[in-house]
Amino acid sequence: MERKIAGFHQDEEGHWVADLECGHTQHVRHHPPQFHRPWVLTPEGRARFIGTTLDCKTCDESRETSD
């Protein structure tokens, strides 16, 4: 399910995590070539992505188990 990004925080290892509107979280790492997200490295880049959507895998899993 697509959920809006409400904010960001760093985990205990310093990796960036998106806080989603549903209350779940998702890592948004920048580790080329697997993950190319240079925007996550700056406050301005992260701010530009507030309100954009990510697919929340936790919501997807919850939906599948309730069907």
- Tens of pLDDT, residue by residue over 37-62, are 999 999 999 999 999 999 999 998 88
Using alpha carbons only, what angle is made at residue 50 by residues 10 and 29, rounded to the nearest 5 degrees?
40
Q: Enumerate the domain spans of the chain.
A: 2-54
Q: Tokens for 32?
A: 């080329």
pTM of the entire predicted model: 0.85
Q: What are phi and psi of 39, to 5 degrees?
A: -60, -25
Taking 80 as the threshold, does the pLDDT of residue 66 lie above it? no
